[in-house]
Amino acid sequence: MASAAIAAPGAPMRLRPFDAAAPFGQGNATFKEVTGLDVHPNMLARVCTQGPVGTVTLPNGTKQRIMLSAGHCLAAEDVTGMFMGRTVDAPVRGGYKNIGTIDLVRTNGLPSGYDQLGTSAQKALRAEDWGIVVLEDGVAADGAASSRDQFNRGPSAPVPMTGVRTYRTLAPGEIALDNFAQPVCKDGSMKGRNCGVQLFYTANNVWTLNLSYATGDSGGVNFDPKTGQIIGVTSLGFGPLGTAQRADRAIESAYDLPAGTVNEHFTPAAPNGNRADFVSAKEEEAEFNQYLTEHNPGVTPEMIAPPTPRQQFDQAVAHATADAGVIANDVRDFAVLSSVAAIAGVPLGQIADAGSTVANAVGTYANAHITNVVNAGVYAALDELGY
C-alpha cells in the first residue's frame, strides 16, 4: 500500500508562528501579555487548505516537488502582527507533520479588512495571490482533489488532476469572457467541495459563482470537474462570488516561464488513495477550548460556549439583511456581465444556463436564510418560554 499522503489537495494545512512564545517578535509583548489569556500554541496557527501538488521542471532542468497555494496563506506576517514560520504543517492524528518549506510568495494588491465591498472587488480585479511550497523530502503526495469539511464530513469523491488550465494572457484590469458559464469545483477544509460556474477571468484570477468560499478554504484547489484540469487556488470571496488565483499565471510567474507553457513544466502528482488521517477544524477548536478553560482560571466553559438562542436569532436576521443587499448587487452585476457576454458573442444558451444557475443560487441562499431565521426564531421563543 502507498504511504499515507500528507500533501493532498483539499486537505487542511497550518502555518504556525516562528516562535509561539514570542509570536510578535523577540522583545515585544507575548500573546498572554497582550490578551491576558494563556492559549494553546497551535491556536495561533493560520488556517488554510492545501492546493494542487506536483513536480515542476525548472528552465535549467532541475526538478522540484511543489504545492501551489494562496499567497496570503503563506505571508510572513499575520494581519495581527504575528511573525509566521517558513514551514507548512498538516494537522494529522497524533500531531502536526511537516509538508514542506515556503519558497516563493506574491501578494500584490489584495483587499484589506478595512475596504468596502466595492473597493475590495476593484482591487481583486488586479490582485495577485499565490505562493509556492517545496515539499519535504519523502513526504507522500496525492494528486487527486478531495476534501472533508470542518465537521469531518465527507470525503468528496477523489478527482485526479490532469494538468493546468491555460487562459489567455491579459493586461492588468482586462476582462475575458470566453470561460463564461463553464463548470468549476473547489475543495476546502472548511466547507468541503462545492461546485458552480466560471464567470470571467482577469490577468491573475478566475471569477466564479456559488463555490461557497469560507475562511480556511483559502489555498484549496479549484478545478474543472469535466477535465480534471487545475484552474487555480481559492483566494477571495464576496458573498456567492469568488476569485481563484490562476494556476497557470502563478506557476509561470514563479519560475519565469513563457506564457502558455505551464503544462510543459508542471506535472500533477499521481493519485494516492491512502491519505493521512487529517484532524478537522472543529476537533482542533474543541482541543483549544479545553486548553483555554484548563489554563485560565477566570475563563469558564460558558464564556466560550455557543451563542444563546436569542443571539443566534439576532445574528440570523442580521446576516439575512446584509446578504440581501449583497445578492441584489450581485444580480445587478450579473445582468451587466450577461449583456457584455452577449455582445462578445457568447452563445445565448450558455448565458441562459448561467442565468439559471444564478437564479438557483439566489433561491438557495434565500431559502437557507428563511430556514435559519425561522428555526432560530422558534428556538429563541421556546428558550424564552422556558422549554
The per-residue pLDDT for range 183-221, each reduced to its tens digit, is 999 999 999 999 999 999 999 999 999 999 999 999 999
Confidence band of 387 (pLDDT split at 50, 70, 90): very low
- Please report, for the chain, the start and end positions of each structural domain, with discontinuous segments joined by +: 12-157+246-282, 306-384
Report the alpha-carbon distance of residue 137 to residue 22 in Å, rounded.
29
Residue from 124, 102, 112, 120 nearest 51 by CA: 102
Which comes out higher in pLDDT, residue 136 or 77?
A: 136
Mean pLDDT of 220-226: 98
- Cell numbers placing 206: 478566475
3-state SS assignment for residue 245: strand
- pLDDT tens profile 365-382: 676 666 666 555 655 554
- Going by pLDDT thresholds of 50, 70 and 90, the confidence category of residue 384 is low
Residues 297, 29, 40: CA angle, nearest 5 degrees: 45
- Tell me what percent of the residues of the chain surpass a pLDDT of 70: 86
Residue 14 has pLDDT above 50, yes or no: yes
pLDDT at 352: 81
Tell me the percentage of the chain whose pLDDT exceeds 90: 60
- pLDDT computed for residue 380 by the predictor: 56
Residue 66 has pLDDT above 70, yes or no: yes
More confident residue, 317 or 101: 101
**In whole angstroms, what is the distance from residue 194 CA to residue 180 CA?**
18
Tell which wins on pLDDT, 78 or 74. Answer: 74
pLDDT at 230: 98
Sort 126 into a burial class: Cβ within 10 Å, 0-12 / 13-18 / 19+.
middle
State residue 382's pLDDT score. Answer: 46
Please check the confidence at residue 159 and state whether its pLDDT lies above 60.
Answer: yes
Burial classification of residue 122, based on how many CB atoms lie within 10 Å of its CB (0-12 exposed, 13-18 middle, 19 or more buried):
middle
Q: Higher-confidence residue: 124 or 158? A: 158
Decide: residue 172, CB within 10 A, 0-12 exposed, 13-18 middle, 19+ buried. Answer: exposed
Give yes or no for residue 116 having a pLDDT over 80. Answer: no
Q: Which residue has the higher pLDDT, 11 or 360?
A: 11
- Region 285-308: mean pLDDT is 82
Instruction: Phi first, then psi: give them for residue 119, nearest 5 degrees.
Output: -65, -40
Three cell numbers written together for 240: 456567492
Q: Supply the pLDDT for residue 369.
A: 66
Cα(234)–Cα(205) distance, integer angstroms: 10
Beta strand 163-164 with 229-238: parallel, antiparallel or unpaired? parallel
Phi, psi of 360, deg, nearest 5: -65, -40
- For residue 349, the Cα-to-chain-centroid distance in whole angstroms is 31
Report the distance separating Cα 287 and Cα 96, nearest Å. Answer: 14
Say what the pLDDT of residue 386 is.
44
The pLDDT of residue 118 is: 62
Tens-digit pLDDT profile for residues 23-41: 999 889 998 988 889 999 8
